[in-house]
A and B are shown apart, each in its own frame.
Chain A
Amino acid sequence: MTDPLLDAKQLSMRYGATVALHPIDLSVGVGEFVAIVGVNGCGKSTLLRALAEVLPAAGKSGVVRLHGASHSSRDAARLRAFVPQRPDLAAEFTARAVVGLGRFASAPSTDAVERALHAVGLQGKGDRLVTTLSGGERQRVALARALAQLDGAERPILLLDEPFAGIDPAEVARVVTALRAVAARGAVLCSLHDPGLARCIAHRALVLREGRVVADGPAANILVPTVLTKAYGHAMEESKSWIVPSLLPEPAPFR
């Protein structure tokens, strides 16, 4: 692996007396699609927020380096984007306007906005108010904002917390295609509740339990019943009864 795109050292977080994340070292290189799985409250969101450097200063420790260096928040925003578990909007913006907000740290680009809307299948709904969109569509608007933020970045880093929440299977397939295209040039880390979907789309898996990494390696080796049974504290088994979306084999031509 070449120099890591994202390198975290001794990343930890505590809320008062509660330790949400024990010290974690993590390196992610070019071309990696990393799935973060684990039970509710195991620290997936905290880890992603720590990597995105959006956690409050109190209780946080550790260092995050992007492309081998520390950056100001504005410079970092040109290299990595983050979509939290619950995107929010306190104004009556159109979908296109929200996606355009992703260009805050970079030069405005209508082409980037249109490409991002197209990548998540919302090219026909850019002029709709976000408040009039469905939950899944709003989630895709948030993803498009992150894609627009990284449009033009040579080696983008995308951090996503439960990116497929509320999105129907066909659109999941479309979004996965867009994310794979980003991962092909940079790296994608996303938390997922569904280990089956994680195994379908990720190269590497990180299993968390009680704020600690209990397994880290190739998704095909990690996301198996024996490891997951320990991680979830519940018997897990292979199944062919779940229906999952067919995923396109090749990345879409998203730049």
Chain B
Amino acid sequence: MLPRFFLLSLVLCCAALVRVALGPIGTDEGVRLVLGVPSADIAQLRVLSVVSAALVGAALGLSGLALQVLMRNPLASPFVLGISSGAGFGVACVLVLGALGAFSSRIFFGEAIGAILGAACTLGIVARLGRATDGQDTTALLLAGVILGSMFSAGTMLLEHLVPHGLRGDLLSWMSGRLPEIPNRAQLATLAVVTVLAWIVLARASKALDVSMLSDDEARSSGVALHALRRKLFWTGGVLAGVAVAYAGPIGFVGLVGPHIARRLLGPHHGLLVPGSALAGALLLVSADAVRQVLDLGSGRLPVGVVTALAGGPAFLWLLRRGSGR
């Protein structure tokens, strides 16, 4: 499986180079950048964009893997727990409160804080509902996530009507899932630190994750502290998704499809699946970002979330058709 892992890494590098070559200043100029013709600012911006897409994709891929293992359901994804909708609701709240003058521009915390708070609230509620079932009933967690997601989406739509027209565009753009055109280095660093830490947490638990694929009774009697492992998965998956959504908005299907690509290429062992899911998530988002650079519909570039949804929707249906990948 190791050659396939390196192949995945190589394909990601190629996709990153292609993305660096593509952009609004024209392909020829971009290619010259790849070939070493310097234009420092543009090169830096594009490299940052690639890093940004790769990090968000890796975070979503790892989050999807954590949640799929947690729920023993290969169709689970960060969205199933309602985290994206909760984060969206958080952003809408911040925009409404800002528009109503609840705080001045100097102490305005920003969309990112709102998204993280929204995601954290959703996680807290789902976690509390999960505890009511001793944390063992993944169906209850799943349903709680779906219902909360629907409620927060409805809340966001409600709030959308309360924000001024100028801000409504921002909210809609964020809700479509968009990678910042000019990445914020501090936010990017935060995303990188969280992703790497989560990667380490999951990698250290990879053997226990393998055993947790057995029935609960078998896993426990094999020596796995299942409750602690699931708590770890819940918070790792949730925080990763929350941070990624806070940074780039709700980008669909990367968290679902990334781990599946990794499973197909690398097999079911989490020793390879953990880094594989991060790489596959990164590859998906960098590729989607590259695709949107060449799709010009006359009204600016598409949000990357639209590209992933258009590609990921059929992939989801395909997974559903082949029996949840099992």
Contacts and interface: CB of A to CB of B under 8 A. Distances in A.
Contacts of A105: 222-223
Interface residues of A, number: 37
Judged by DSSP, the binding face of B is loop
B65 to A, nearest CB: 12
B170 interface: no
A142 B213 CA distance: 13
Enumerate the 9 nearest inter-chain pairs by beta-carbon distance, A residue then B residue, closest first. A77-B223, A105-B223, A88-B215, A82-B221, A91-B213, A74-B223, A91-B268, A84-B217, A90-B72
A145 B218 contact: yes
Given A90-B72, A90-B326, A91-B268, A52 B214 contact: no
A73 B213 contact: no
Contact of A54 (B208, B211, B216, B269): B216
Given A56-B134, A92-B268, A104-B207, A87 B215 contact: yes
A76 interface: yes
Given A73-B223, A104-B222, A82 B217 contact: yes
A145 B208 CA distance: 15
**Which of B134, B211, B269 counts the most A-chain CB atoms under 10 A from its CB?**
B211
Interface string B90-117: 0000000000000000000000000000
Contacts of B217: 49, 52, 54, 82, 84
A131 interface: yes
Contacts of B136: 56
A91 B136 CA distance: 19
Nearest to B208: A104
B222 A102 contact: yes
Contacts of A102: 222
A90 B68 CA distance: 10
Contact of B224 (A53, A90, A104): A104
Nearest to A49: B217
Contacts of A92: 263, 267-268, 326
**Which of B73, B215, B216, B224 counts the most A-chain CB atoms under 10 A from its CB?**
B215
A84 B211 contact: no
Nearest to A92: B268
**Which of B73, B136, B208, B326 counts the most A-chain CB atoms under 10 A from its CB?**
B326
**Which of A56, A91, A131, A149 counts the most B-chain CB atoms under 10 A from its CB?**
A91
Contacts, number: 84
Nearest to B325: A92
Interface in A36-62: 49, 52-54, 56-58
Interface of A: 49, 52-54, 56-58, 73-78, 80-84, 86-93, 97-98, 101-102, 104-105, 131, 142, 145, 149, 159
A74 B268 CA distance: 23
A92 B326 CA distance: 7
A52 B207 CA distance: 21
Nearest to A108: B207
A142 B221 CA distance: 12
Interface string B200-217: 000000011011011111
A101 B72 contact: no
Interface string B247-273: 000000000000000010001110000
A77 B222 CA distance: 5
**Which of B72, B207, B208, B214 counts the most A-chain CB atoms under 10 A from its CB?**
B214
Contacts of A83: 218
26 contacts: A53-B220, A53-B221, A56-B134, A73-B220, A74-B223, A77-B223, A81-B221, A83-B218, A86-B215, A88-B214, A90-B72, A90-B213, A90-B326, A91-B210, A91-B213, A91-B268, A92-B268, A93-B213, A98-B214, A101-B210, A101-B214, A101-B222, A104-B208, A104-B223, A105-B222, A142-B218
